[in-house]
A and B are shown apart, each in its own frame.
Chain A
Amino acid sequence: MDHQSTLERVVRGVLIALVLLFFMFPIVWILMMSFQTNEQILRIPPSLAFEPTLENYQALITGRLETQAGTLDIRFMSNLWNSLVLSVCSVALALVLGVPAAYAFARFRFRLGEDIAFTLLSFRFAPPLLVLLPLTLYFQELGLADTYIGLIWVYQLICLPLILWIVRGYFEDVSPDIEHAYRTAGHGWLTTFRRISIPLTAPGIAAAGLLAFIFAWNNFIFALVLASADKQPVTVGALAFVTASGIQYGQIAAAIVLSITPTLALALYAQRYLVEGLSLGAVKG
């Protein structure tokens, strides 16, 4: 890879810079906005120079939003907590249910196996709004509307198919004879699953879990319909910034920064783990 011409290197550098600019610009802009007041953001012409202020973050953390029309209570921090609870629990539940199921689909042929797997995948095709109306009625009947349990349950529509199908592929890539070798050495099925199958597919499980977490975190429509104010995640909670006295761009930007931080941190952490897992355990032959 060393035999590139200078031109190639320059073109490559420029292209990478363009891609970076394209993807990073909105995030950098939002980060800058989060340190400005609404007046500074909306001035014409826009300027890169500004006096940073922590006002937005302060408002979010204390939960008191000062506008020209008066003081407004916002529940951003509790929304953030809701997001965390919902996403973590949903992914955890989906892993507990999905990983053994993925193993079963990968290893055993059983009656209607493929049909069940496809049905689970089809949850991802259905327009959520179509599902939501009947679901709301059922949930109200069952007393599940506006509860964490109800939401986590509905979030399985997002997480479970994702984990099932990704992890299934990883299990299929592991030779069953590796498990067989362990089983002949005097170990039961469950021990083999725990000690051999799971560790060998750990990078895949982590990738699927991360993806499911991001999808769950970013979900809007399920929570909008099924959760009231005290169970809302940040995606829905952000609507509160559209106030009677205008849109609070500064707070929105600060809220975005705070709400993408956990996902970003998780992604960075898991990425390191993924690379490590793949280089250690590349399953071969």
Chain B
Amino acid sequence: MSAAALVLDRIDKVYNPEGARPVHAVRAMSLELAPGEIGALLGSSGCGKTSTLRMIAGFEAVTGGAIALTGRAIHAEPPARRNVAMAFEGYSLYPPLSVRDNIAFALKSRRLDPAEAARRIAEIAELLEIDDLLGRRPSSLSGGQQQRAGLARALVRDADLYLLDEPMGQLEPRLRAVLRGRLKHYIKTRGLTVILVTHDQTEANALADRIAVMEDGALQQFASPATLRDRPANRFVGAFIGEPPMNLLPAEARADGAGIGFVLPGGARLAYGPGEMASQVREAALACGAVIVGVRPHAIRLSGTGLPARVAANQWIGDQSHVAVSFADRAVVVVEHERVTARSGDAVGLSIDAGDLHVFDAGNGAAVSHGEVLA
């Protein structure tokens, strides 16, 4: 890999540090982004993702740590000298200017040839479907239109890094899906380095090369969407990524001859013979003792045999069935692609392959194994 475009080196943010209640918004966040890579900061509200973005842009000072962009330290520079472009969650268009002038504003300091500037504005406006709105003022636009104008203003620039804060939050679902594809194509053909902030997994999965999952100000895992899904680093990431979320069951791992048994609440037992579970996984789980067993809703199969459970709810959502069953004193969600006819109260059997199990340490939540491999 070539030299990183953006390096966050253990950055910290504490709001109101001397006040009565300091808020530690970002904790020792480290992250490297390659040139031309799209990174997403994903997390629930208040997890520190926007604070991180604002520190990179320079609107918030870092409390500790360093930020480097294309090799130069920028965390002490004013925003004007960082050469980053940003699309704001609140759009932040200049009210007295038309949409065209708003976008052109971003180009003015570059002393671009007017014809070239007009061409670029037309191009980005067409891409984001705002070409018929260029003459209007921001106050006469809807939220979604303003958001696209704000996005255009950021993307039209030549910057070392593009920061997109919830870039599509206000768009209707159909347009969002269309623009996602176009946006990714635009970014990739130009080799732009982008960080986007979102709480929408679909958006992060669709746009980003790698996703940084954040919780409580700390980075949980920074990896590709596939890795996040298949090998979540801890139980938080496991439960956070995926829709519907991963089922997590507390369990006691016990040796069962040459096999292993996971004793679940209520006495149910997930048992695997010697040939069913990889031996290194078995040993690691036994070494832990108290574990949390995670299994994705898609990986559970409903059948007449298997572990006994009772159907609590059954929803057909158009292309798949979401079945909630009571199992091991928990509500466990199962997704089947065929329509399931079971009704509430019916007895069903669950079967779960050892290869679909994610085992987490119950103590610190760190992953122990994913299927047949150790974490």
Contact = CB atoms under 8 A, between A and B. Distances in A.
Interface of A: 175-178, 180-189, 196, 199-200, 280-285
Contacts of B84: 184
B139 interface: yes
Contacts, number: 71
B336 to A, nearest CB: 43
Contact of A177 (B90, B95, B157): B90
Interface residues of B, number: 31
A196 to B, nearest CB: 7
A178 B153 CA distance: 12
Given A180-B86, A185-B106, A185-B157, A283 B95 contact: yes
B109 A181 contact: no
Contacts of A199: 96
18 contacts: A175-B90, A175-B92, A178-B93, A180-B57, A180-B86, A180-B88, A180-B92, A181-B150, A184-B57, A184-B82, A185-B85, A185-B157, A187-B80, A188-B78, A188-B80, A200-B95, A283-B95, A284-B95
Given A184-B58, A185-B85, A185-B108, 20 more contacts: A177-B88, A177-B90, A178-B93, A180-B79, A181-B92, A181-B94, A181-B150, A181-B153, A183-B78, A184-B82, A184-B85, A185-B106, A186-B109, A187-B80, A282-B95, A282-B139, A283-B95, A284-B95, A285-B90, A285-B146
A161 B86 CA distance: 36
Contacts of A283: 95
B91 interface: yes
Interface of B: 57-59, 78-86, 88, 90-96, 105-106, 108-109, 138-139, 143, 146, 150, 153, 157
A112 B94 CA distance: 32
Contacts of A187: 80, 109
B105 A185 contact: yes
A189 B58 CA distance: 12
Nearest to A109: B16
Contacts of A196: 94
Contacts of B57: 180, 184
Given A177-B88, A180-B59, A180-B86, A185 B95 contact: no
A178 to B, nearest CB: 5
Nearest to A176: B59
A97 B266 CA distance: 73
A186 B57 CA distance: 12
Nearest to A179: B92
A176 B59 CA distance: 10
Contacts of B146: 285
B95 A281 contact: yes
Given A185-B109, A186-B109, A280 B96 contact: yes
Given A184-B85, A282-B139, A178 B80 contact: no
Contacts of B80: 183-188
A60 B81 CA distance: 62
B86 A181 contact: yes
B143 A181 contact: no
Given A183-B78, A184-B79, A285-B143, A177 B92 contact: yes
Nearest to B16: A109
